[in-house]
């Protein structure tokens, strides 16, 4: 169940392929499996058909849920990167130093992975329904594999301190009580925000979509933010902080 080192190195590319496959959903035209309507529209149609709300109201409600997911992605990704450092987040290799227990890492072991999950979940509302389902299954499985791979690596390198940290901090669901003491790491909010332009782009794309329901425009916004994120990461410092996760 653990991801290999090659999967870790290629994690950004694998994530991108999963997202592109969700939007593309080639089986719709090739096999006639499903319809090419967004998950937002599909959910709104189901809600209106059973009489809970009109189609317009249902659509607004579904987009609002997607916006909440996108906002959660921004919070998890930016805060996680701010404390861990873009150099570590962008590293091709797993790195072990001191246990990170500052900022969001006091309450959750994997804020960056959860941010990724929420970001893909937010984007899935713009995908065809069947593409959204496949993308969420694949990204969830891949995220779990990466998590187990990193935990095995860190346990072997850091030993008892990391085991104690794992015993006190949950893997995916934040716990607000009983967090370990702050280890004193200083956040770098500006560099983190530049490195994490993609979740900001997803949030902006959904906000624009809520206004005009233009899927093509929302997709362009996401692509532009992803490209801008890659450019920003290329110019950010390459120093690596302790403890990997992305």
| String of DSSP letters for 150-186 | HHHHHHHHH-HHHHHHHHHS-SSS---SSPPPP--PP
Q: CATH no. for residue 63?
A: 1.20.120
Domain assignment present for residue 245? The answer is no
Domain that holds residue 215: 5-235
| Residue 137 scores a pLDDT above 50 | yes
| Residue 78 scores a pLDDT above 80 | yes
The pLDDT, as a whole number, for residue 182 is 78
Three-state DSSP at 35 gives: coil
Confidence grade of residue 96 (pLDDT, cut at 50, 70, 90)? low
Domain assignment present for residue 201? The answer is yes
Confidence grade of residue 244 (pLDDT, cut at 50, 70, 90)? very low
The distance from CA 215 to its chain's CA centroid, rounded to whole angstroms, is 20
Exposed, middle or buried: residue 65 (CB in 10 Å: 0-12, 13-18, 19+)?
middle
Domains of the chain: total: 1
| Residue 33 scores a pLDDT above 90 | no
Domain assignment present for residue 120? The answer is yes
Confidence grade of residue 178 (pLDDT, cut at 50, 70, 90)? low
Domain assignment present for residue 244? The answer is no
Domain assignment present for residue 102? The answer is yes
| Residue 89 scores a pLDDT above 90 | no
What is the average pLDDT across 213-226? 96
Domain assignment present for residue 243? The answer is no
Specify the residue for token string 């960056």: 112
């Amino acid at each position: 169940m653990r991801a290999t080192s090659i999967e870790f190195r290629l994690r950004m590319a694998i994530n991108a392929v999963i997202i592109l496959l969700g939007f593309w959903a080639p089986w719709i035209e090739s096999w006639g499996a499903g319809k090419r309507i967004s998950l937002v529209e599909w959910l709104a149609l189901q809600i209106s058909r059973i009489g809970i709300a009109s189609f317009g109201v249902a659509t607004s409600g579904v987009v609002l849920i997607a916006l909440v997911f996108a906002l959660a992605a921004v919070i998890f990704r930016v805060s996680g990167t701010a404390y861990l450092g873009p150099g570590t987040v962008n590293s091709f290799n797993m790195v072990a130093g001191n246990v990170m227990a500052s900022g969001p890492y006091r309450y959750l072991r994997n804020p960056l992975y959860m941010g990724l999950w929420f970001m893909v979940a937010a984007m899935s509302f713009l995908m065809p329904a069947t593409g959204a389902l496949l993308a969420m299954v694949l990204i969830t499985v891949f995220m779990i594999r990466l998590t187990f791979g990193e935990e095995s690596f860190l346990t072997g390198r850091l030993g008892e301190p990391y085991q104690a940290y794992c015993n006190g901090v949950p893997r995916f669901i934040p716990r607000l009580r009983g967090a370990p003491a702050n280890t004193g790491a200083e956040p770098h909010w500006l560099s983190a925000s530049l490195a994490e332009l993609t979740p900001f782009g997803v949030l902006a794309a959904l906000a624009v979509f809520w206004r005009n329901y233009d899927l093509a425009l929302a997709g362009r916004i996401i692509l532009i933010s992803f490209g801008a994120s890659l450019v920003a990461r290329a110019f950010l410092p390459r120093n690596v902080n302790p403890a990997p996760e992305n």
